[in-house]
Amino acid sequence: MSLLGVLSQLLAIAAALLLAPLMTGWVNMCRAWLQNKSAPPLLQPYSMLHKLFHKDSVLADNASSLFRAAPYIVFGCMVLASAIVPTLSTDLPLSPAADAIALVGLFALARVFISLAAMDVGTAFGSLGARREMFIGFLAEPALLMVFFCASLISKSTSLTTIVETLGHRELAIYPSLAFAGVAFTMISLAENARIPVDNPATHLELTMIHEALILEYSGRHLALMEWAASLKLFAYSCIGLALFVPWGVAEAGSPLALLLALPALVLKLAVGCAILAFLETTSAKMRIFRVPEFLATAFMLAVIGLLVSILLGVGGV
């Protein structure tokens, strides 16, 4: 374990914790601009977190220890997911844990705990949101695995660091299979992060909300951790997409100069990606919850087509 590797790992965790709320603020600003509305301040998510951390947490009388522990577990899972994705460098001490299958399992673990916590108090909205969350996860996880398998056929490994080193640090090649996988991953990311057209993060309508229904009973520091974890999940999915489809700019192992240039490259790519996300949300309408299976089945089909194209063309094709 090199000193530079430890430094890059700590820098990656710090970047995730600091940039995740900034991403949320940037998406909200871009969406307001596209809708011809007055944009909220860019740093508003930081102000909200600061306010919530200084408020007392109000708990229901029948809330169990699971309800109290769930925000810390979910937040820890999202921090770990952001840490094992190669955002700044491939020289990460946690890179052996950066396996695509383990990463999907980490997201699933967070989903299970947030759903159990939503049902713990026994409210109708919490149970409704938990059922919808598990329903979407049940459909999205196989599609996400197919996307990872499509990229792993090119790099001969399910390790994200190996995938980044293969795609970003070799000669430029055209992989048609990644085009199908990219569209599928975009659809999966919208569903997993409760964005339009699957869910609307800007509304609290009782009959349509998913993420808000899960955290409706939380307040104070518990709510702050849940909101921060939601921003970290969006950051993690964005970085996974960059690692799979736009891996250029990530530093190689043992390259301190490239590590310094990797941070502004990451910020630039995330800014462009968030602007595209805001555009997609502005030009799309929220679909009915009963149409979500068709939406995610299409993502799964596209990922499988990408996998078949990769096999037929000889692992990606050039």
pLDDT of residue 162: 85
Q: For the chain, which residues make up each domain, given as ranges? A: 3-312
Kindly list the averaged pLDDT for each block of 10 residues, start to end, along the chain of length 318.
78 93 94 90 94 90 90 95 88 78 92 93 86 91 93 86 80 80 94 87 70 87 94 94 87 72 90 93 86 93 92 65
pLDDT of residue 164: 85
pLDDT of residue 302: 94
pLDDT of residue 254: 61
Rounded CA-CA distance 183/202 in Å is: 24
pLDDT of residue 3: 77
Q: What is the largest CA-CA distance in the chain?
A: 61
pLDDT of residue 317: 44
